[in-house]
Amino acid sequence: QSVLTQPPSVSGTPGQRVAISCSGSSSNIENNYVSWYQQLPGTAPKLLVYTNNQRPSGVPERFSSSKSGTSASLAISGLRSEDEADYYCAAWDDSLRGVVFGGGTKLTVL
């Protein structure tokens, strides 16, 4: 059971916009930055978005994040087949004094 809650799967068609939710609590998401990671099949995870919707160089603007209270969301616009991957949210937890991850969401591009 992960501290952060994500839907197990989401799907969309090419060109669509999809959103992946991440639900936590006041000890993690509400009072700390959230980061999002993409893991393509058989590869190491990669940082997508962090802090206040910042993207590392090379990450397209199609990926964006938002936060409200104890929940966060990753939005992917202009969906492409290469976006098919597992996506994870993460945040520092003040009570646990460590980083907590969501269980991961598998994105399928139909």
Partner 1 sequence: DVQLLESAGELVQPGGSLTLSCAASGFSFSTFAMNWVRQAPGKGLEWVAGSGGTGSGGATDYAESVKGRFTISRDNSKNTLYLQMNTLKLEDTAVYYCTKGKGHSSSSAFGHWGLGTLVTVSS
Which chain residues interact with partner 1 by CB under 8 A? Answer: 2, 32-33, 35, 37, 39, 44-47, 50-51, 56, 86, 88, 90, 92, 96-104
Nearer to partner 1, 16 or 108 (CB): 108
d(CA 105, CA 83): 12
Structure tokens at 56: 């590392």
In angstroms, give the least distance from the CB of 102 to partner 1: 8
User: Which residue lies nearer to partner 1 by CB, 16 or 101?
Assistant: 101
Q: What angle do CA 27, 32, 34 make, to 5 degrees?
A: 115
Residue 15 or 91 having the CB closest to partner 1 = 91
Min. distance of Cβ 1 from partner 1 in angstroms?
11
Distances (CA, A) of 92 to 17, 41, 52, 102: 28, 26, 14, 12
